[in-house]
Amino acid sequence: MTIAHCFNSIKVEAGCWVLYEHPNYTGSQYVMSPGEYPDPHQWMGFSVSILSCRSIKNVYGKSWKIRFCEKKDFEGQAAECAEDCESGCEAFKFQEAHSSAVTDGAWVLYEQPDYRGRQYFLERGEYRSYTDWGATSPAVGSFRMITEF
């Protein structure tokens, strides 16, 4: 779905959505849950340009699990998590996550601690490299489960 070029406010009436800065589901991502967002700063928008979006479907459930690996292709040390984490460094013993696998639920990764910075939506599947989830660096500062809203 292609949507309008520029937004100053957004209202999500139902469900969860991922907004993308560029067409074809590329560029900066913004995961939105139901609510009103009167300006881009409230939805952590780096840009008011939104050129594609998609609804998040079939992510609700009773369990969540994500595994991070310190090297691409699931090599090196690994850490599994089943709950929200304000600081990625506290969750695993390595500084960067070069690959990941989501076995249960869906997750939002943030570039910085305390759920700040660029966002990345990960649904069930394997991500052999951080570029597979759309990141430009392997930094995972924090992450949280997408739960039923």
Indicate whether 43 and 107 sit together in one domain: no
pTM score, two decimals?
0.79
For residue 45, the model assigns a pLDDT of 62
In a domain? residue 5: no
For residue 34, the model assigns a pLDDT of 85
Indicate whether 39 and 107 sit together in one domain: no
User: Which of the residues in the chain have pLDDT under 50?
Assistant: 1-4, 149
CATH code for position 50: 2.60.20.10
Indicate whether 49 and 75 sit together in one domain: no
For residue 6, the model assigns a pLDDT of 56
**Four-residue CA torsion sign, 49, 55, 59, 61:** positive
For residue 65, the model assigns a pLDDT of 94
**Tokens at 106, concatenated:** 């869906």
In a domain? residue 1: no
Indicate whether 110 and 131 sit together in one domain: yes
Q: Which DSSP string do the residues of 74-100 spell out, in sequence order? A: G-S-EEEE-S-BS-HHHHSSSS---EE
For residue 2, the model assigns a pLDDT of 40
Domain housing 112: 65-145
For residue 4, the model assigns a pLDDT of 46
**Closest-CA residue to 96 (of 145, 134, 130, 132):** 130
Indicate whether 117 and 96 sit together in one domain: yes
For residue 1, the model assigns a pLDDT of 40
The count of domains in the chain is 2
Indicate whether 52 and 72 sit together in one domain: no
In a domain? residue 4: no
